[in-house]
Amino acid sequence: MMTTTTIAVIGAGIGGLSAAAALHRRGIDVHVHERGATLREQGVGMHLGPNATRLLVRLGLGEQLAAVAVRPEALEVRAFHDGSTVAVQEMGAAWEKEFGAPYLTVHRGDLHRMLASLLPSGRVHTRRELTSYEEGTKGVTLRFADGSFTRASALIGADGVHSLVRRRLVGEEKPSYSGNSALRGTVDAADLPDLDPARMYMFAGPTGRVLLYPVSGGRQFTYVVVVPEPEGLAESWTGAASRDDLAAALTGWTPQVGALAGAAHDVRRWALYDRPPLERWSTARTTLLGDAAHPMLPHHGQGANQAIEDGVALAICLGEQRSGAAGIAAALARYEATRRPHTTRVQLGSRDGRPTQRSTQRSTQEKETDMNNNSNNNANLNNNNNSNNNVNNQANNVAWILANDVEANLNNNNANGNNNNLNNAA
């Protein structure tokens, strides 16, 4: 255990707080620096796959999740024009048995508060906007907009899609626009009486789709309305929108979702951008985490889940290495070697369902992945006679993600390495 190591995390979002909570749990001195004036998470609902919920339970959040999250019993796919059910994917207890942990839906604010509660007072510092940092032989010096500075053994950039730490590591990048935006918000479940707040729903239309899933113990639904949108919107998931925008997007749709326009709370627009996977994201003293490392489109619902996995993996790697410069460099290298191949695969797969036309150049690997994904999706969508099979196939396509246990994988790899060392010594 590295009792003399101090880790600085930039950004107090889901990923940053997950990393800090996992580091603190392992006895590592950690401080989180957040640019905002208060500690709060904007946004609406989110999916927590078994790959993330198993980690959150191990962090001690099982009871809190049970109080506010929902374990959806099933996903229903319904026709956009009349609301008739065309396919059902059972979830609930069946998925919990299959993956060893529940699939949950939860309000981002609820999860954010839970993660913050795992850190003692004085570990999260608000009004700390990072403006620059310098790596040295003895650590990293961080400088903030208010003129203050601090030093740490290592710097973790969990500062989102507009990450300063990422820009320092890889330079300026042009984000790649998907051709779509998403109108998002919450609605009281009571205002959608035709929908069961114990289930998730997807309505697939000719030019868009609507996803609704329960949050806040089933008292509300989060809605996501994905529609084509010309490029030009700012890269933000909290852009301004209105009920009129929602009504226009849902014109001609079944009243089951058309009612959203009159009942929705605040409406926000999320312009769907991503970036190509990075070839590296670490130095000897600095690394990236979450959206700063691998911003991804939301079609797998894995953005926050991958950030949680990142945070736990990073804490394990740092906790198992010796202190000092060489130990930290080895820990960050192991973390990247573990996470980057996995998140690259998730990131590329998350592009399913968006237009094939891209606004920037892509690698051959990305193009081949897109061709395979789009071919599979078109075949599935055009075969209405096999709708349930198609939904099951889509679930199977992400089963490898949901089954992942990053903590067990690292522990197994470490055990195998120790066994190999013993065999070599013999």
Residues involved in catalysis:
213
8 Å CB contact between 210 and 223:
yes
8 Å CB contact between 337 and 410:
no
String of b and e for 123-152 (b: at least 16 CB within 10 Å)? Answer: bbbeebebeebeeeeebbbbebeeeeebeb
State the DSSP string of 297-320: -GGGS-HHHHHHHHHHHHHHHHHT
What are the structure tokens assigned to 83, written together? Answer: 């609301």
- Distance, CA of 331 to CA of 111 (rounded, Å): 28
> How many helices, marked H, and strands, marked E, lie in the chain?
15, 18
8 Å CB contact between 53 and 61:
no
- Distance, CA of 376 to CA of 390 (rounded, Å): 10
Question: What does R_g of the chain's alpha carbons equal in angstroms?
Answer: 22
Strands in 189-310 per DSSP E:
200-204, 209-215, 220-228, 239-240, 268-274, 286-288
8 Å CB contact between 33 and 144:
yes
- Distance, CA of 328 to CA of 392 (rounded, Å): 43
- Distance, CA of 42 to CA of 109 (rounded, Å): 7
How far does CA 119 lie from the centroid of its chain? Answer: 21
